[in-house]
Amino acid sequence: MDFFEVITNRHSMRAYKPDPIEPEKLQQILDAINRAPSAGNLQAYEVYVVRQAGQRMALAQASWGQDFIAQAPLALVFCTHPALTVGRYAQRGVNLYSPQDATIACTFAMLAATALELSTVWVGAFEDDAVWKVIGSPEGQTPVAILPIGYASKPPRLTPRRKLDELVHEM
Ligand SMILES: Cc1cc2nc3c(=O)[nH]c(=O)nc-3n(C[C@H](O)[C@H](O)[C@H](O)COP(=O)(O)O)c2cc1C
Q: Ligand 1, atom 27: nearest CA belongs to which residue?
A: 11
Q: Is 128 helix (H, G, I), strand (E, B) or coil?
A: helix
Type of residue numbered 29: I
Give the distance (Å) from ligand 1 centre to CA of residue 122.
5
Instruction: Band the pLDDT of 127: cuts 50, 70, 90.
Output: very high
Per-residue pLDDT band at 166 (split at 50, 70, 90): very high
Residue 90 has a pLDDT of: 98
Nearest residue to 44 via CA among 76, 75, 77, 79:
79
Q: What residue spans of the chain are helical by DSSP H?
A: 3-9, 23-33, 53-62, 68-71, 86-92, 98-115, 128-135, 164-167
The pLDDT of residue 137 is above 90: no
pLDDT given for residue 151 in this prediction: 98
Ligand 1 atom 1: the closest Cα is on which residue? 124
Residues with CB under 6 A from ligand 1: 11-12, 14, 66, 121-125, 159
Q: Quick one: average pLDDT of 27-38? A: 98
Domain residue ranges in the chain: 3-167
Does residue 56 surpass a pLDDT of 90?
A: yes
Q: How far is the CA of 87 from the centre of ligand 1 (A)?
A: 33
Summarised one tens digit per residue, pLDDT across range 145-161 is: 999 999 999 999 999 99
Query: Span 47-57, mean pLDDT?
Result: 98
Determine the CATH number of domain 3-167: 3.40.109.10
Q: Please tell me the pTM assigned to this model.
A: 0.98
Label residue 150 exposed, middle or buried (CB < 10 Å: 0-12, 13-18, 19+). buried
169: DSSP letter: -
Q: What is the 93 CA–ligand 1 centroid distance (Å)? A: 25
Query: In angstroms, how far is CA 109 from the centroid of its own chain?
Result: 6
